[in-house]
């Protein structure tokens, strides 16, 4: 006798969400064949935690020791085209000290939803080069340094350029151009 194991809606969602900080969107679940009503049912049973409209986290997710979970949630709350911006990119890369109580997120589109305290949104931001920090969409290090000019002290930004160069986030030419732009705008 052959036994077949059916894959539950939760298992399907789990496999998708575990690769991105335990987060998933209802639209992703529907793309995997899990209906919106099945997602709501799982949320009512406590298997899923509702983060925002259409955004959930699986119940068995263990936060990562790198501390990037809050960044992933903030970016996911804003939308699929959102990305980590400015000082938050510098903090995530550990390039210079920033205010850890603030998470900066940018989006080229318009976001009208509610965000938790400490999440600062840049609506209509010009999307340039996008990078990824452990799977989270983000500005490149050079762009983040330049975006942080009126938020972070100049000396710290100079340190961030050197740290980014040391970590391989900026090559010699990019570091030189970033420094040149920093001095021009100071």
Mean pLDDT value across residues 141-156: 95
Is the pLDDT at 8 greater than 80, yes or no?
A: yes
**CA distances to 3, 34, 41 from 91, in Å:** 50, 36, 37
Looking at CATH, the fold of the domain delimited by 9-58 is given as: Arc Repressor Mutant, subunit A (1.10.10)
Task: Encode pLDDT of 109-141 as tens digits.
Answer: 888 888 999 999 998 888 778 999 999 999 999
The mean pLDDT value of the chain amounts to: 90
Question: How many of the other CB atoms lie within 10 Å of CB of 37?
Answer: 9
**Residue ranges of domains in the chain:** 9-58, 69-185
Looking at residue 185, its pLDDT comes to: 80
Task: Encode pLDDT of 65-96 as tens digits.
Answer: 778 999 999 999 999 899 999 999 999 999 99
């Amino acid at each position: 006798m052959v036994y077949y194991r059916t894959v539950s809606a939760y298992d399907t969602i789990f496999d998708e969400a575990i690769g991105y900080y335990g987060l998933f969107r209802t639209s992703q679940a529907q793309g995997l064949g899990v209906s919106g009503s099945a997602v709501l049912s799982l949320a009512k049973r406590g298997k899923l935690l509702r983060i925002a409209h259409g955004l959930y986290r699986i119940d068995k997710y263990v936060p990562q020791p790198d501390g990037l979970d809050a960044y992933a949630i903030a970016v996911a709350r804003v939308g699929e085209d959102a990305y980590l911006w400015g000082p938050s990119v510098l903090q995530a890369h550990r390039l210079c000290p920033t205010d850890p109580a603030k998470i900066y997120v940018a989006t080229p589109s318009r976001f009208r939803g509610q965000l938790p305290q400490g999440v600062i949104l840049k609506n209509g931001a010009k999307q340039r080069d996008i990078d990824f920090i452990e799977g989270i969409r983000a500005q490149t290090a050079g762009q983040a340094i330049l975006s942080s000019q009126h938020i972070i002290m100049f000396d710290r930004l100079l340190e961030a350029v050197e740290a980014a160069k040391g970590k391989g986030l900026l090559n010699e030419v990019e570091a030189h151009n970033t420094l040149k732009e920093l001095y021009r705008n100071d």
